Amino acid sequence: MTKAKNVEEYIAMQRAAIASNPECGTSHYNLAVALIGQKKYDEAEAELHDAVGCSPTLAEAYTQLGGLCLRQGDLEGCLKYNQQAIHSRAGFSEGHGNIGFVYLQMGKVDEAIPALEKAVRWNPNFIQAYTSLANAYLMKGMTDKSIETNLKVLELEPNFPIVHNNLAIAYLENGEYSMAAEHCDKAVELGYDVAPEILKEIESHR
């Protein structure tokens, strides 16, 4: 069977489940995720609203609604849905991570940091949240905290090019040029497009 056939079959199963039990939030959610996979965003959004209508604590549905807002460039909408996600389930790390990410996009670093700290506290393996948190610390001039956080990411994913790039920048800020060069070289080796001004500054200290 082709993959599309599998997806169609899966969608048909979820529709059948909803027909027999319209109040099952999980079936509405599962159908919505499959529809998002098919880029049927309007239909998916309606199913997600049904999902939270049936199951108000289904935090994942709120984050999916936030994701649909983000697709349309609606940062406020994305923020609002992710705030609903963490109200419905306080320890939902993805919601905290998304809130931090949106605040960073808005340039609100002071609001982003506590949200991202909560995200990694609830999920110590949340690589994207750690990466965003390290960037937020760097924006605040907290280079030591940024380095420490980036190094935690490398413990989880040693070959993450953007983190090596970010470490190069943080070490440069700290005047630790040999460490900056080491991580810059690694970022380049892993295919990351390091900014020319960073490369130039590192070369001047070799």
**Which are the contacts of 135, defined by CB distance < 8 A and separation ≥ 6?**
104, 146, 166
Residue 38 CB partners (closer than 8 Å, separation 6+): 7, 11
Taking CA atoms, 189 is separated from 89, 119, 130, in Å, by 41, 30, 22
Question: pLDDT tens-digit profile of 148-205?
Answer: 999 999 999 999 999 999 999 999 999 999 999 999 999 999 999 999 999 999 999 8
Burial class (CB in 10 A: 0-12, 13-18, 19+), 64: buried
Category of 141 on φ-ψ map: left (φ > 0), alpha (ψ -120 to 50) or beta: left
Smallest CA-to-CA distance from 130 within 159, 106, 102, 153 is with 153
> For residue 164, how many other CB atoms are within 10 A of its CB?
24
Answer yes or no: is pLDDT of 104 > 60: yes
> Full-prediction pTM beyond 0.75?
yes
Query: Which tens digit of pLDDT belongs to each residue from 17-26?
Result: 999 999 999 9
Span 47-84, pLDDT tens digits: 999 999 999 999 999 999 999 999 999 999 999 999 99
